[in-house]
Amino acid sequence: MRGALCGLLLLSLTTLFTHSPVYGQQNVKRISLKLEATSLLEALREINRLGDNVVVFKKEEVERETKRVTVDLKNVTVKAAVEACVEGTGLTCVDFEGKVVVTPRQQPTSITVTGTVRDVNGEVLPGTTVIVKGDSLFLGTSTGADGAYRLTMPTSVTTLVFSFVGYKPKEVTVGGRTKIDVVLEEEVKSVDEVIVTGIFTRKASSYTGAVVTMTAKDIMRAGNQNLFQSLKNLDPSLFIMDNLEMGSNPNAIPEMKMRGISSFPLEETGVRLKGNYKNSPNQPLFILDGFEVTAERVMDMDMNRIESVTLLKDASAKAIYGSKAANGVVVITTRRLAGNEQRVTYTGSVDIQMPDLSSYNLCDAEEKLEAERIDGIYDDANFLLYTQKQMLYQQRKQLVAAGLDTYWLSKPLRTGVGHKHNLSVELGDAETLRAVLDVSYNQVIGVMKGSDRRNISGSLDLSYRRNDLIFSNTMTVNSNKSYDSPYGAFSDYAKMNPYWRAKDPETGQVVRWAEDRIPNPMYDAEIGTLKKESYVDFLNNFQVEWRALNGLILRARVMLSFKRNDGDEFLPAAHSSFANITKDSPVEEQLRKGSYRLDNGKSSNVSGDLHGNYATTIGKHSILAMGGFGISEYSYEAYVHKAEGFPNSQSADITFARQYALDSRPEGSSSLRREINFVLGGGYSYDDRYFLDFNVQTSASSLYGNDNRWATGWSVGVGWNLHNEHFFPWKDLVRQFKVRGSIGLTGNQNFDTNEAVATYQYYTDANYLGMTGSYLGRLANPSLKWEQKKDYNVGVDATIHRATLRFDLYRADTENMLTDVSVPTSTGFATVKDNLGLVRNSGIEAYLSYGVLQQNRTFLTVFGSLVTTKNKIIRLSESMRAFNELRDKMASDKANNRPVLKYVDGESMETIWAVRSAGIDPMTGQELYIRQDGSLTYTYYESDLYPVGNSLPKYRGTFGFTFEHKGFGVSTTFRYQAGYQYYNRTLIDRVENVDMNYNVDKRALYGRWKEPGQVTPFKRLGTFRYDDDPLSRQEMTRATSRFVQDAKELTWGSLNVYYDFQADILKYLRMKRLRVSFYMEEISKISSIKAERGFDYPFARTMSFSLIGTF
């Protein structure tokens, strides 16, 4: 204040020595003033005339103002009159020693702009990025839960840029305003403006990482069943494989991988847990709202709560997760609090699943009898046995002639009709407190009778804003109950002969025996068979965000998660599993009929972190710094109890058991993992043209050996926005052309906590002098360390006219893979866990979309993607000697007809190993094998195993289109894959290694050798020997190249047809939004291979009718 007064005094003294006249008297008089369109200079002179010259001013400053003064003042002070005249100009006035001094208004160095960001429907957009135009990093601020923002910035700023994922960015001229409200329109093209990594948010234009962001709208267009099914149709870089065993089982969690595999399969521990506590070694890391979660939780979550999903694929993107990120990261962000108004949204759907049996090609009753005749099962050298078999043949033939042809595949199946519902209630005020309550119910009814999965969940999101502090808390509770079909494995029905009866023709009751001592699998579902699992989990995320300074954001988070699960499996005494125990069996065996398995377990996860990021701009230089640390503890314990001996099918309780299962005792497994990590990152950009990123994350984990507790991941990325160069010639056509590259190191932690430590077990069946002994069950390896993956990536992001292009070329080298290595037998062990080897994955990823039509409310976009992957073992062989020798031993087993898994330098980890085949000898109908030296033999030698194929597709991708016109829309997606080989199990199990007592593939009848000179793909039916083993009546067909086939596949993955009702109808219904949708998923598949799919559970096609309404 003193400085201001001195300045005014100097100004007054200065005016005394100018050529312009200055006047002054005591400011005590009141005046009346009426002026009409008068210049400001004349107005001040008039005030001086009326007020005895008490107004002091500089003529030059006043003459620069162009304002025309129009006032009508009555009996006001001189100062009030002057204030009325200078209002809206660059001048102001103050009292000074009885004078009214007119002086230039002091220009502030910064201004504060506030406002609210909404979409076209009036809903606020929380998390909208607000930055100053020209900044190339995440500068400025973002809107809070209520869609409001507050930004203090230099007065020199002329333009602000507002951007939100899935919406068109908007530039707004400031023009001296301090309140700016903005409305954003949805982006037809998928051009992401910001990248959500789960820890930090970055601006896409200056980000060097290889990422893909999918909005909620993208996800729902690709399907509405679960997130994994939608991702399967959206981005092929996340390869979600078809489960050929479990098909469409609603309780099966899919296997997936990102950019190939680089870790060995987990060792079977002998304890099969049902709580889904362990991750697959090649499974990506899942991050939900900043914290790690399991694949099961992602599968069961309500899709309506998802706001976006981001795939982090290269080191520059995933290095912030350090030693957990080698397999890639899937970042899921749930829907944020939105809207200033109270609103209620209901989403419901009816989901229909229909069995897909198109891959089955089984014999009918007449064909099966003919195959049996050719095979000779009704022939016998003993006349009495021959007569009995011929009578059986005639009996079956008569049944077939009478029309008996049971279609067993349909017996355990149904059309499953499920439904799901979600109710979202948004409450609160526009400024401080908001709440969103979500309640959802989802019941998936599988196509096998009795199989379903029911999930009930509730979540409460609270957000409170106090000045620069934002408090938020999300609490979620899930209750899940699932049933596997009591009808058993679907393969049991596929093998049933069509001339067997499923039900009594007179009573219609399910028969226990399809034929003499042949159990009817349908009967198992009639006697109280139970296969049930359930879990309840609780998750709470609490977050505090402090916008301490302009550009500085500090964030603290705490996550608590608890889960408890149970499983029950009851097989009554009459179950087909005990069909071999008859009344003639020993009494002790008969008393063991009936079994019960009881699983129970619990897990907990506690983690917290503190992070901060600061962004600033100095001229053309933009700088971003970020850092933080986190701690976590994860533990689980699970137990299995097996009992046997149940008196009847009604005693479905483990307490009715006669005893523990033979040679069993309670089993279990537990794990405790603790971790602390520190992360540091930053970015620099010059003039939004050249930019650089770096990240460093170091962590200590209890998973590693004592000598290698700490693991460090890092990345460095550079980029060039070529479209911002002054010499770039096509600026009107090219909106973006970004070139980027990165290198970095990450790790993998998907293994057990006891791999590095010595593990002891007790002699529970022996006692010495009242003491229990123990023995070493696993050798310690204090040097065990994390698997390391070094990623190299070069990419291009471009938007050219209506086309959007994304291209990445990558290579990833994985070292220190965790596996069993050979040790001297003098240690008492054959192997020990250790790090070894080098595996390389490389390939390209390309995506292209083009807006064919974009007019007002009509658009048509076509898109396509291509992914190539190559896997190669660079250095491994000698260390894997014991592993490969064990696999050779497995291959020597005459009962084994599956390719063994071997790891050899120069080959892929997904190589198919089998003996090469020269085909079927036309003269004998027997198979000829190719030896290593090229010679031919009828004898199968496991030493001749050879790499005969690769099950990893060389090419994968998607393509489709999205069309919308005035609220009506159609979206569809196709998937394709090619350039790989498939070992056709159907040819082995249903054509060659057939048990003619059960049904077979039709090719067993029409495609097999029957007479000399015939060229066929399959060997002859009947009894014969390849070697001199007298016990070998018919050698089982082993794994050979004859069953390895080149594969190509095209799948129509999804179809979505929807309609958004127009504003006039909504107004009449008093609604804000109403959409009806129709979905189809897994519609059809075209494959170059004819093979059965869904061995234990069939695949299904899905239809869904959905409705969304907002009030």
Helix (H, G, I), strand (E, B) or coil at 943: helix
**733-747, 986-1000, 1039-1053: least confident range:** 986-1000
Q: Is there a single domain that holds both residue 725 and residue 595? A: yes
Domain boundary among 152, 187, 222: 187
Predicted pLDDT at 8: 37
Is the residue at 880 inside a domain? yes
Q: What percent of the chain is modeled with pLDDT above 70?
A: 89
Q: Is there a single domain that holds both residue 665 and residue 679? A: yes
Phi and psi at 930, nearest 5°, equal -100, 120
What's the mean pLDDT in 889-910?
84
Q: Using alpha carbons only, give the angle 286, 289, 290 rounded to the nearest 5 degrees.
A: 70
pLDDT in tens, 737-762: 999 999 999 988 766 656 667 777 78
CATH of the domain at 278: 2.170.130.10
Domain boundary among 83, 104, 125: 104
Q: Is there a single domain that holds both residue 379 and residue 479? A: no
CATH of the domain at 38: 3.55.50.30
Total number of residues shown for the chain: 1111
Range of the domain at 164: 110-187
Q: Is there a single domain that holds both residue 522 and residue 595? A: yes
Query: What are the C-alpha distances in Å from 545 to residues 464, 468, 613?
Result: 10, 8, 11
Q: Is there a single domain that holds both residue 162 and residue 301? A: no
CATH of the domain at 144: 2.60.40.1120
Q: Which of these, 119, 120, 109, 114, lies nearest to 148 by C-alpha position?
A: 114
What's the mean pLDDT in 29-56?
87
Residue in the block written with tokens 């957000």:
463
pLDDT in tens, 151-210: 877 777 778 888 876 677 888 988 778 889 998 887 643 334 677 776 777 777 788 889
Predicted pLDDT at 729: 87
Q: For residue 1045, is pLDDT > 60?
A: yes
Is the residue at 203 inside a domain? no
C-alpha–C-alpha distance, residues 128 and 119, integer Å: 11
Query: What are the C-alpha distances in Å from 936 to residues 471, 641, 823?
Result: 76, 52, 38
C-alpha–C-alpha distance, residues 184 and 143, integer Å: 13
What's the mean pLDDT in 569-576?
92
Q: Is there a single domain that holds both residue 180 and residue 246? A: no
Q: For residue 267, is pLDDT > 60?
A: no
Q: Are 166 and 220 in contact (CB under 8 A)?
A: no
pLDDT in tens, 367-391: 999 988 888 889 888 999 999 999 9
Q: Is there a single domain that holds both residue 373 and residue 330? A: no
Q: Is there a single domain that holds both residue 435 and residue 395? A: no
Q: What percent of the chain is modeled with pLDDT above 90?
A: 41
Predicted pLDDT at 1035: 64
Q: Is there a single domain that holds both residue 98 and residue 143? A: no
Predicted pLDDT at 565: 93
What does the block give as tokens for 338?
């939105």
**362-376, 490-504, 511-525, 1016-1030: least confident range:** 1016-1030
Is the residue at 359 inside a domain? no
Using 50, 70 and 90 to split pLDDT, how confident is the model at 926? confident
Predicted pLDDT at 22: 40
440: exposed, middle or buried (Cβ count in 10 Å: 0-12, 13-18, 19+): buried
Predicted pLDDT at 4: 41
**31-45, 466-480, 998-1012: least confident range:** 998-1012
3-state secondary structure labels for all residues of 204-229: HHHCCCCEEEEEHHHHHHCCCCCHHH
Q: Which of these, 1100, 811, 962, 969, lies nearest to 234 by C-alpha position?
A: 962
C-alpha–C-alpha distance, residues 309 and 324, integer Å: 18
Side chain identity at 242, as an amino acid letter?
Answer: D
Number of domains in the chain: 5
Predicted pLDDT at 762: 80
Predicted pLDDT at 497: 95
More confident residue, 1018 or 554: 554
Q: How many CB atoms lie within 10 A of CB 5?
A: 12
Is the residue at 193 inside a domain? no
Query: What are the C-alpha distances in Å from 106 to residues 87, 92, 110?
Result: 14, 9, 12
Q: For residue 625, is pLDDT > 70?
A: yes
Is the residue at 1081 inside a domain? yes
Predicted pLDDT at 516: 83
Predicted pLDDT at 88: 82
Q: What is the model's pTM? A: 0.79
pLDDT in tens, 292-336: 888 889 999 889 889 899 999 999 999 888 888 889 999 998 887
CATH of the domain at 753: 2.40.170.20
Using 50, 70 and 90 to split pLDDT, how confident is the model at 431? low
Is the residue at 430 inside a domain? yes
Domain boundary among 404, 425, 457: 404
Query: CA-CA-CA-CA torsion for 901, 903, 906, 910, nearest 10 degrees?
Result: 40
**12-21, 762-771, 1087-1096: least confident range:** 12-21
Is the residue at 356 inside a domain? no
Mean pLDDT of the chain: 85
C-alpha–C-alpha distance, residues 174 and 152, integer Å: 12
Q: Which of these, 835, 632, 696, lies nearest to 321 by C-alpha position?
A: 696
Residue 115, phi-psi category: left (phi > 0), alpha (psi -120 to 50), beta (remainder): left
pLDDT in tens, 832-842: 777 778 899 99
Q: For residue 778, is pLDDT > 80?
A: no
Predicted pLDDT at 414: 95
Helix (H, G, I), strand (E, B) or coil at 299: helix
Helices (H), 850-894: 881-892
R_g (Cα) of the chain, nearest Å: 38
Predicted pLDDT at 10: 38
Q: Is there a single domain that holds both residue 505 and residue 595? A: yes
Q: Which of these, 147, 146, 151, 181, lies nearest to 164 by C-alpha position?
A: 147
Q: For residue 877, is pLDDT > 70?
A: no
Is the residue at 1101 inside a domain? yes
Q: For residue 270, is pLDDT > 60?
A: no
Using 50, 70 and 90 to split pLDDT, how confident is the model at 950? very high
What's the mean pLDDT in 562-591?
90
Q: HSE of 316 in the Cβ direction (CA atoms, 13 Å)?
A: 28
Predicted pLDDT at 6: 41
pLDDT in tens, 328-355: 999 998 887 655 567 899 999 999 999 9
Q: Is there a single domain that holds both residue 802 and residue 882? A: yes
- Kindly give, in sequence order, each residue whose CB lies less than 8 Å from that of residue 580, ignoring residues fewer than 6 positions away: none
Predicted pLDDT at 276: 55
Q: For residue 68, is pLDDT > 80?
A: yes
Q: Is there a single domain that holds both residue 94 and residue 133? A: no
Phi and psi at 497, nearest 5°, equal -70, 140
